[in-house]
Amino acid sequence: MRSTVSRMTLRDLLIQHGIPTIRELTHRLQCSRQQAWDLWHARVGVGAAMMKRLHEQLTIPLEDLIQIDLCPGQNQRPEEKEPEGSSKAPPNKPK
């Protein structure tokens, strides 16, 4: 089940290794639903500690884990903008 596709996402890898849903990831990784959701949707990166946990608890080979795109960001929320006409501080008026 080795894949050599560059820029593979963690979600793709999990599906290849029999974890097709966030619920299954939560159950098998024994983590919170929020943490599983963040990993599944690439809202957080996969650091060394998480990579080790994925390897040990899900038995995913390290060779496969190394191939995933470790940098989050492509799916991050856009910065919230203030509505038109509102501001945090009113402009200074001359006296």
pTM, rounded to two decimals: 0.65
45-75 pLDDT, tens per residue?
888 999 999 999 999 999 999 888 766 554 4
Query: How is residue 61 written in tokens?
Result: 């080979």
3-52 pLDDT, tens per residue?
444 578 899 999 999 999 999 999 999 999 999 999 999 999 888 999 99
Do 39 and 10 form a contact (C-beta atoms < 8 A)? Answer: yes
Please, which residues have CB within 8 angstroms of residue 28's CB and are 6 or more apart in sequence?
A: 19, 57, 58
17-29 pLDDT, tens per residue?
999 999 999 999 9
